[in-house]
A and B are shown apart, each in its own frame.
Chain A
Amino acid sequence: MITPDSEGGEMALVGVVQPPMANGEPVFEAPWQGRVFGMARALCERDIFHWDEFREKLIAEIGADESIGDYRYFDHFLMALTVLLEEKQLFGVDELNGRTHEYSERPHGHDHST
């Protein structure tokens, strides 16, 4: 059973920081977008940070984006999350870069084809 105040309000991602929405919910174009959204919410719910702190970082990331017509909300979302976590000294970006590199070297069924 849901209650009248159970959704939306606390998230307060409105205005410039509102995620792409359809059908009243955030639209994830790829599974990883759902994962980062879920990570941010889960960390917030565990009081690792306050949602307002995250929102400030997200606003800054979006504000720094000067690209036109190629708006990538969840790229900013991921960046804002890593910036905040590093600022809180919960992990180092070097560590993330290292792990990312390691993962990207994994053999995979598909080739990168940009």
Chain B
Amino acid sequence: MSHPSLRSLVCVATVLALASCQNDSNPNSPNTGAPNALGSQGPSNLPSAAELDRQVPGFGGFFLDQDGTPTMYLTRGASPAAANRVFSGYMAARGLSAVRVLQGQYGWKQLQRWQDAATIDALAISGAVYVDNDERSNRVTIGVENLAVEGQVRAAAERAGVPREAVIVQRVDPIIQVATLQNVVDRPVRAGVQINFPGFLCSVGFNATSGTQKSFVTASHCTTKQGGVESTPYYQPLQSVDGTVIATEVADPVYIKGGAGCPKGKLCRYSDASRAAYANGANQALGLIAQTSGANNGSLTITGSFSITSDDCSTTGGCLASGTTVNKVGRTTGWTSGAITNTCVNTGVSGSRVVLFCQTFVSAGVGGGDSGSDVFQVTSGNNVKLAGVLWGGNSGGTQFVFSPFGNVTRELGALTTH
């Protein structure tokens, strides 16, 4: 069948701009918008505290109660008329008649000044967590990890000019920055976390000692030039976060043209693997793989570690049969798990002349940046058998491909992994 009428150019386009994405309902667009400060409680056009302070005389703080009713502190003698006027549209839409008014002791702007003043001294005290102009209490609230430091923070607030009766000190849990596979500064470095080499992101495959050299293994294409050693420098997680080079590429065998079984015009190897030597040997977490909260749940938050207690066989193609469940942890899609679907597959790499012999296919999630990830089989609890190094996948992100451990050691030499 021919289609002689079709000669026109078909153009499709998409746009990128941080501002344009904030109200974008297209599920394919990146969501970079800030969350609505009022969440599901109300529309985003409710006035800010600063705006209310300008419009409502005696304003001391505002919040929505558990029923969604606007609730406002007003200082003694202040009329609720202005508050009701500001919220008239909001209340009418919800069948509410009036703003709920609470007797306030302090104006919002005064509390704001006290918050700023107390912050300087109070947050300098070990154990102080936050200083808040608390719209629900009409006070400056200081959170502390342990009430043993209450006296110190109260004294600090008083020195800052905040009346003792305007301060509430309460015990709260510390605020912990969530460490993910992408942002953690992991020392010593575990497998699965993000690494950065100039212009690119990958994942640490597994830690390995070659002779006495402490190293990690990642993908061969996670080097400046795939095949051959160019002393690629690695940063973790990003050069912009920690500018210290943690490791340097020391092994990446060249791809062979015209070798046994290598198709004409192609470049062949048995593994897409390279090795980088740690600049500081103490940074090697031999045998450890960063663990997230569960397989195939999308989480990148590190909750613990797997321990490598054994390696797959040294045979080319490995010894894990089709149907065996294996796992990987990588910086983009985290911990994914699925069954081996194909073993010892000679695989052409899209967009290149590279052919890799005897690779393993797995039905499990993968994404850009997972290259280099460790692949393993869970043997018991958090103990795992190392299976190889992930290097690729399909465009749908539902199938990953890895070089079996036996292929890696065939080309990089003997490695101690745990």
Is the pairing of A and B real? no
What residues of chain B have their CB less than 8 Å away from a CB belonging to chain A? Answer: none
What residues of chain A have their CB less than 8 Å away from a CB belonging to chain B? Answer: none
